[in-house]
Structure 1
Amino acid sequence: MKTTRVYAPASIGNVSLGFDVLGAALTPVDGTELGDVVEVKEADVFGLTVSGPFAHKLPPGEDNNIVTLCYAHFMEEMVKLGKPVHHVAMTLYKNLPIGSGLGSSASSIVAAFQALNVHFDRPFDDNQLLLMMGELEGQISGSIHYDNVAPCFLGGMTLMTGDKDQVTVSLPVSPSWYWVICYSGISVSTSAARDILPKEVDMATALTFGRQLGVFVHALHSQDFTLAASVMNDVIAEPYRKSLLPGFDEARSFSMAQGGLAFGISGSGPTVFAVCDNAENAEFIREWLQANYVQNEDGFSHVCRIPQKGTVEQQVKE
């Protein structure tokens, strides 16, 4: 019996300065599996099983699960292509907390689509899959955006183009940077975090946003990572969203005082991240965040790097 299993990593959306257009995949340096896994196997009828440490946080019923919606959408697109379809059973291993700012819904979506695509002998290319992933992510967050699904799927740091023919391009990353992430344990919904934002930004803010993003991309390509870090400042969302994150200002102050190059909100929060250029500083900041930013038993903190690869097809023993 054919079985396909795919892991999709956590991700940082926005990366502070790139609201809705910049994202980065994450992999903990200690080998922790920080991401969701979806398994697909042959079956007579469709069924979905959910397990994992955060499975109990999902809405009950397979019809309310995003993986079921991914399956339905994938099959619709297969029929449009004239490809043969058949039922499968799917299992979601929910390793990422919901509403964490770590691309939890994106991880489930990406793992589901990639597992289905591999299982059905790859009928869709990467760009076609990204368009489907973005559409399903939009059903969760209220608008189509790719800053989590793209890096989760492809790995690395990705910049969204706004062009459906090429959804994203890959950016260079600093080989010396460590990314300390800390999930506080509380939940912040993406839609609620969007509602708190102003509907318009003033001219000065728009100019600052464009300048910072342009300088950041140039600096990465020029390998001027000091310059890149200097413009990692969120002028769009952080001034408003940090009110939803208890202890944010204290966490920022401590991290920057201990050698952090940049500090910001991962996606919609409550997860925060600090960028460091050495492992010792990163671990020291991680320990402080674990002790001081985490609010409950669900919270955690990891030192991460940005992996070159996103989804990983895992071997399944029959």
Structure 2
Amino acid sequence: MSDNKETTSAKVTRAFAPASIGNVSLGFDLLGAALQPIDGKRLGDWVEVKDAETFSLTVDGTFADRLPTGSDNNIVTKCFEFFQAALADANKAPLNVAMHLHKALPIGSGLGSSASSIVAAFYALNEHANKPFDEDQLLTMMGELEGQISGSIHYDNVAPSYLGGLVLMTGEESPVAVKLPCFDNWYWVVCYSGISVSTAEARRLLPQEYSLSSTLDFGRQLSVFVHSLYAKDEALAAKMMTDVIAEEHRKVLLPRFDDAREAANANNALAFGISGSGPTVFAVARELDDANAIKAWLEKEYIQNEDGFSHVCQLSTQGTQVLPSA
């Protein structure tokens, strides 16, 4: 008899967390956007939690074979261990569960792959435990685990994946992040080239110090961008969406990046940039025809191998959600 044998009344909770764009060009570590393909497909990972006598983790999905071998090395196992410790610190009963990860996002893609797994895991665990932790407590846990992978704690993938929409990080005090208004008519084209870029390595490419002029540009752009969202000024918002912090240093890791920008601009892109650390790039378009033309060029010219893909998206306003159990 298996140690993990379920009873007929075993509780099952499954959560889906969408892919995300970190930085959104102008907001290094401070802005993030959750994605939903307009064709209705899910772009993200899901995690299942079910009652069991002993813990185990199973994994499937398109990119499951790219994960570290052994369940002890999987970030979902680390989420479970972190959550158990948090329950103990809060004098709550531990969970007796097994978990399953469906890995649909490629590792090192710039689409918040690790964040999607982390967010789905913590959300499912919290739901399964009858919500012992509030939004900020969960976000803090998510940021801690994400920091173990990237080398520093940042919320620009976990927060939008969890909360949905376009999200501004406020810092470590409550609230950790707030949702911003955005333009419902914007299409967000994302294209993963198929190669992998380490977030930690991409951060090492960045200077330790920036000039006063770059710092002022960064602060001005972010401030004006947030203002333009509330003022509903599309043109001003789009004008601010340039990266003065990371793009110059990171684009060397992305073959044909400059060509992709030129093609996007030729098809009336409002903005173009690196999604997170790359290699995924994103473009913003007002018209669906322009978005589809950008997607077609990227699929033909930017994708490097069979792992690559491209989607026309809008913002996922819901963020993480509970899915029906199979």
TM-score by length of 1: 0.99
Match of 1:301 among 298, 301, 310: 310
Does residue 48 of the first structure (1) align with residue 70 of the second (2)?
Answer: no
| Structure 2 counterpart SS, 1:67 | helix
CA distance in 1: counterparts of 2:267 and 2:75, whole angstroms = 40
* Structure 2 partner of 1:310: 319
Q: Which letter does structure 2 place at the counterpart of 1:222?
A: A
- Preserved contact between residue 160 and residue 319 of structure 2 (Cα < 8 Å): yes
Q: Which letter does structure 2 place at the counterpart of 1:181?
A: V
* Structure 1 partner of 2:88: 79
Q: State the 1:163 CA deviation.
A: 3.5
* Structure 2 partner of 1:226: 235
CA distance in 2: counterparts of 1:128 and 1:46, whole angstroms = 23
Q: Which letter does structure 2 place at the counterpart of 1:129?
A: L
Q: Which letter does structure 2 place at the counterpart of 1:93?
A: H
CA distance in 2: counterparts of 1:137 and 1:24, whole angstroms = 16
Stretches of 4+ aligned residues off by more than 2 angstroms: none
* Structure 2 partner of 1:212: 221
Q: State the 1:126 CA deviation.
A: 0.7
| Structure 2 counterpart SS, 1:191 | helix
* Structure 1 partner of 2:197: 188
- Preserved contact between residue 155 and residue 310 of structure 1 (Cα < 8 Å): yes
Q: Which letter does structure 1 place at the counterpart of 2:133?
A: F
CA distance in 2: counterparts of 1:258 and 1:7, whole angstroms = 33
Q: Can you list the C-alpha shifts for 1:83-106, whole angstroms capped at 9, x where unaligned? A: 111321000000000000000000
CA distance in 2: counterparts of 1:40 and 1:162, whole angstroms = 30
| Structure 1 counterpart SS, 2:171 | strand
Q: State the 1:307 CA deviation.
A: 1.6
Match of 2:135 among 126, 136, 154: 126
Does residue 91 of the first structure (1) align with residue 100 of the second (2)?
Answer: yes
Does residue 20 of the first structure (1) align with residue 2 of the second (2)?
Answer: no
* Structure 2 partner of 1:271: 280
CA distance in 1: counterparts of 2:101 and 2:288, whole angstroms = 33
Does residue 2 of the first structure (1) align with residue 8 of the second (2)?
Answer: no
* Structure 2 partner of 1:100: 109
Q: Which letter does structure 1 place at the counterpart of 2:80?
A: Y
Q: Can you list the C-alpha shifts for 1:262-290, whole angstroms capped at 9, x where unaligned? A: 00000000000000001111011101100
Q: State the 1:31 CA deviation.
A: 1.2
| Structure 1 counterpart SS, 2:79 | helix
The 5 A counterparts of 1:162-177 are 162-177=171-186
Q: Which letter does structure 1 place at the counterpart of 2:163?
A: L
Q: State the 1:37 CA deviation.
A: 0.4
Q: How many residues align?
A: 317
State percent identity of aligned pairs. Answer: 62
CA distance in 2: counterparts of 1:164 and 1:296, whole angstroms = 42
Match of 2:66 among 33, 54, 57: 57
Unaligned ranges ≥5, structure 2 = 1-9
| Structure 1 counterpart SS, 2:294 | helix
| Structure 2 counterpart SS, 1:143 | coil
CA distance in 1: counterparts of 2:99 and 2:117, whole angstroms = 12
Q: State the 1:234 CA deviation.
A: 0.2
| Structure 2 counterpart SS, 1:144 | coil
| Structure 1 counterpart SS, 2:81 | helix
Does residue 146 of the first structure (1) align with residue 155 of the second (2)?
Answer: yes
| Structure 2 counterpart SS, 1:166 | coil
- Preserved contact between residue 95 and residue 129 of structure 2 (Cα < 8 Å): no
* Structure 2 partner of 1:283: 292
| Structure 1 counterpart SS, 2:170 | strand
Q: State the 1:308 CA deviation.
A: 1.2
CA distance in 2: counterparts of 1:40 and 1:170, whole angstroms = 28
Match of 1:155 among 161, 164, 172: 164
TM-score by length of 2: 0.96
CA distance in 1: counterparts of 2:121 and 2:64, whole angstroms = 15
Q: Which letter does structure 2 place at the counterpart of 1:109?
A: I
CA distance in 2: counterparts of 1:86 and 1:160, whole angstroms = 30
- Preserved contact between residue 184 and residue 298 of structure 1 (Cα < 8 Å): yes
- Preserved contact between residue 115 and residue 161 of structure 2 (Cα < 8 Å): yes
| Structure 1 counterpart SS, 2:242 | coil
- Preserved contact between residue 131 and residue 164 of structure 1 (Cα < 8 Å): no
Q: State the 1:5 CA deviation.
A: 0.3
Q: Which letter does structure 2 place at the counterpart of 1:283?
A: N
* Structure 1 partner of 2:212: 203
Q: State the 1:164 CA deviation.
A: 2.2
